[in-house]
Chain A
Amino acid sequence: MKPAPLDYLAPTTIEEACERLAEAGGGATVLAGGQTLMPLLALRMSQPFILIDINRVAALKGVARAAGETWIGPMMRQNEVITHPTLTSALPVLVAATRHIGHHQTRNRGTIGGSIALGEPAAELPATAVALGAAVEVRSTRRTRRIAAEDLYLGPYTTALEFDELITALHFPDWPAGTISLFRKVAMRAGDFALLGLTGAVAARDGRIERAGIAWFGMGPTPVKARRVEAALVGEPIAGLDVRALAELAVADTAPLDDQHASAEYRRTVARRIFARTLSEGLDGRRSA
């Protein structure tokens, strides 16, 4: 029993969860899948007075299609996301990214909303949400609001969520049929945190790119949206793309760190290469299809 003493609460509705969060006045932590929080509790790096377990809130689960978007309940387990027929057809990048999180055993508990709420800079899902233009719906006893994923991340593990706010839904916009998925993670071993990775999508019509959403993980203090290369891609004919020049632009917005695993320069070098390779492979698949 390594976690420090705490009070455990298990609300069954969103309203109740928000009331408990508000009452706690910042002394509570929300327990979703627990695959990051439980280690932090065990190591006593996190010592909340109150743990609010949202695993019994049925309204936080499920998947639905709505006009122009897919609604995902934040308490969907990562392994449920991987096998969900609606998500595998509507959001193949999200499914590919989720497949790379941790291990089979941790994906059985870990949730999509938990990962997005945590804001780990090297994690797959925050960057994917940013790349695809997703938004989170956030509720408290004071209000309900929507935050675009790209406005959610302020720093490592730091989000725009207030202490009393709970993510109650994830909204992923539709991408056109035939959208090319871009996903690649570089890690030392399967299941490790990424050294870096690329995620996103490119949509083309009549041989021209009409929409691009691309983001990096492990390439800065937050997910990094590759705005310059997105802007450079849109409107360009697929046939004439200079992938090497684009790779240079793709890392222009990044701010990778030096750490014991890799230098910033190594990360930038690998990033250029995986961008060129992932984009070329995606476009080749498109040409041959």
Chain B
Amino acid sequence: MSEHGIRVSINGRMHMSTVEGRLLLSDFLRTFAGYTGVHVGCEHGVCGACTVIVDGQAVRSCLMLAVQADGACITTVEGLARPDGTLHPVQQALRDEHALQCGFCTPGVVMTLAALTRGPEKPSAEALLAALSGHLCRCTGYQGIRRAALRLAGDPAGESK
């Protein structure tokens, strides 16, 4: 049973730790680093709640080992809003469109949309809606989440769909 020293940047802060080889990244982020905004739902890659941004890309953190993130830059939902509390545009869009009820799936949804809208170009409504297939939400029926995605694509009426 191997142990490994890792250095990971999380929300701009460097974390050093020694982890077992089998430790999941999702558990490392919650239990070792304290980022409990990483929600652990199914723990086997189905629900999408644990989605974080690793080196710029949305991935399921339960489908990576912590040791694999050695040297990586990770953003969790805690890293999006400004220090003064101003919401990230994705968070604001979800709030404006009433896109959550219990909120368990929300951090994952936020991280997927944040990863896809981080570049200078606006992503297509189609690309954002397709990426939402990677998240399960048992409360909302998805309509609010879809509207938020369309708003982020600059197509609030969903005319391109």
Contact = CB atoms under 8 A, between A and B. Distances in A.
Are the chains A and B members of one assembly? yes
B23 A53 contact: no
Given A106-B60, A108-B58, A42 B44 contact: yes
A106 B68 contact: no
A55 interface: yes
B25 to A, nearest CB: 10
A189 interface: yes
Contacts of B67: 8, 10, 53
Interface in A101-135: 102-106, 108-109
Helix, strand, loop or mixed for chain B's interface?
mixed
Contacts of A237: none
Question: Interface size class for chain B?
Answer: 20 to 34
Helix, strand, loop or mixed for chain A's interface?
loop
Contacts of A42: 24, 43-45, 62
B48 A105 contact: yes
A43 interface: yes
Given A106-B45, A108-B57, A1 B23 contact: yes
Interface residues of A, number: 32
Interface of B: 1-2, 4, 20-24, 27, 43-46, 48, 51, 57-60, 62-65, 67-68, 112, 116, 130-131, 133-134
Interface of A: 1-10, 31, 34-35, 38-39, 41-43, 51, 53, 55, 79, 102-106, 108-109, 189-191
26 contacts: A1-B20, A1-B24, A1-B27, A2-B43, A5-B20, A6-B2, A6-B21, A6-B22, A8-B21, A8-B22, A8-B65, A10-B67, A35-B60, A38-B24, A38-B63, A42-B43, A42-B62, A51-B21, A105-B59, A105-B60, A105-B112, A105-B131, A106-B63, A106-B134, A109-B59, A189-B133
